[in-house]
Structure 1
Amino acid sequence: MAINLQKGQRISLEKSNGTRLERICVGINWGAIEKKGLFGLGKTKEAVDLDGSCILYNENKQALEVVYFGNLQSKDRAVRHSGDDLTGDVNGNDGLDNEVITLDFSILNPSVNYVAFVLNSFRGQDFGTIPFASIRIYEGTPSRVTEVFAKYDIAHDAAFAGHVSMVMGVFYRKNGEWKFNAIGEATKDRKLQETVDTVTRQYL
């Protein structure tokens, strides 16, 4: 049974059969903005560059490493980024994720206590102007979805309109067990570093 979390909900990652979840993915799917041509003639597509990023923190809430389009893999190889998508879907929603970040808990450095996922609009395009943009956090691999934990529709949720960054969620270690906090909140930040600072101050 899928666990579709609401904002602010927390879950344990221990499964009903007693085993623990080992691999999760954060998939982001979005579309280019359609604009009417001059005098209303024809339509043009404006590329949209959304960037998913992952921040690793130690128990003292110090950022150890950021995995993003400029650093596609953590030093321990536990976090991998699929690469930068600069345009979004230009021919309508193909149903596929444009960027995927994979996290393997089994090889994650033991000094990591928090793993935060954030989203930024690189060119400053307001989330509310994008025709479709959705995030899903799920157990599985980039090609196989086993169970979805949380979904956010950031293009059609009024709470995201007027914003260009958000915090998706935070995985955190408590008593040796990983848990997940579905945050799903827009921030006032403009750049990735500002969002990292916001997570450090407010969401760990």
Structure 2
Amino acid sequence: MAINLEKGQRINLEKSNGSKLLNICVGVNWGAIEKKGFFSKTKEAVDLDASCAVYDENKNTLDVVSFRQLKSNDQAIRHSGDDLTGDLNGDDGLDNEVITVDFSRLNPKANHVAFFINSFRGQDFKDIPFASIRIYEGTPTRVNEVFAKYDVANDPTFAGSVTMVLGNFYKRNGEWKFNAIGTPTRDRRLEETVVTIQQNYL
């Protein structure tokens, strides 16, 4: 049974049978913006970019994985590739971009793996009809078991924001845990978000 996460909630990466979750997928799903005209409705493609940044225990940046760099230097993190449109015909239940993480292969210095999304064309989050992330076991094309879900859909407090910090995997006493953040930022570029997370969310 998947956990429905709430903002600020922290969870252990542990399955119902007690075993640790070491190989995960983080999928991001979002919809296209609906524009209403005088006689019809049209859909405006939305280009969100899912990314993650890796930091050590001193909050130094070790690596960034995004549509520009699809694999981490240690090969433990992989990005499925850039989705430029979102779901044009309503929620199809599939993830638009997926980032896989193998915690067993991560750089031993890694202490945080933070996930975030940037609106590439500067489209406002309050206008995007739905957006969610889910943590699951499987591959980018096959879901074996959903571990947790987190809805970051259109919220009035997101108005004016084009970047959102989704959450942070962090290591505590040798075990990985997850903190659901779900906070928009004023950043305009991916590089700015990496610094914002470093300063405020680790």
TM-score over 0.5 (shorter chain): yes
Structure 1 segment 1-204 matched on structure 2, within 5 A: 1-37=1-37, 40-142=38-140, 143-155=142-154, 157-204=155-202
Q: Residues of 2 paired with 1:132 and 1:189: CA distance?
A: 21
State the alpha-carbon separation in 2 of the partners of residues 138 and 67 from structure 1.
19
Count the aligned residue pairs: 201
| Cα gap change, 1:16 to 1:85, in 2 (>3 Å) | closer
RMSD (Å) for aligned C-alpha atoms = 1.7
- Partner deviation per Cα, 1:11-36 (whole Å, 9 max, x = no partner): 22234534211122211112222224
CA distance in 2, matches of 1:81, 1:19: 25
Equivalent residue letter for 1:17 = N
For the residue of structure 1 that corresponds to 2:187, the secondary structure is coil
Change (3 A) 1:58 1:94: same
Give, in whole Å, the separation in 2 of the partners of 1:19 and 1:90. 38
1:95-120 Cα offsets, whole Å, 9 max, x none, are 21111111111211211111000011
d(CA) in 1 for partners of 2:137 and 2:181?
17
Q: Could you say if the C-alpha distance between residues 93 and 2 of structure 1 is closer, same or farther in structure 2, counting changes exceeding 3 Å?
A: closer
Q: Return the letter of the residue paired with 2:35.
A: K
Q: SS in structure 2 opposite 1:91? A: coil
Task: Give the superposition deviation at 1:49.
Answer: 0.4
Query: What amino acid is aligned across from residue 99 of structure 1 in structure 2?
Result: E
In structure 1, runs of 5+ residues without a counterpart are: none
* Structure 2 alignment gaps of length 5 or more: none
| Percent of aligned pairs sharing the same letter | 67
Task: Please report how far the alpha carbon of residue 145 of structure 1 lies from its aligned counterpart in structure 2 after TM superposition.
Answer: 4.2
The more displaced of 10-19 and 124-133 is 10-19
Give the TM-score, by structure 1 length.
Answer: 0.90
Deviations along 1:144-203, one digit per CA (max 9) or x if unpaired, are 141332312322x33323311111111111111111111111112121111111100011
CA distance in 2, matches of 1:4, 1:36: 32
Tell me the distance in 2 between the aligned counterparts of 1:138 and 1:184. Answer: 18
8 Å CA contact retained: 2:129, 2:153: no
SS at match of 1:113: strand
1 CA distance for matches of 2:22 and 2:28?
A: 20
**Could you tell me how far 1:91 is from its partner in structure 2?**
2.2
CA shift digits 1:73-103 (9 cap, x unpaired): 1112111111001111222222211111111
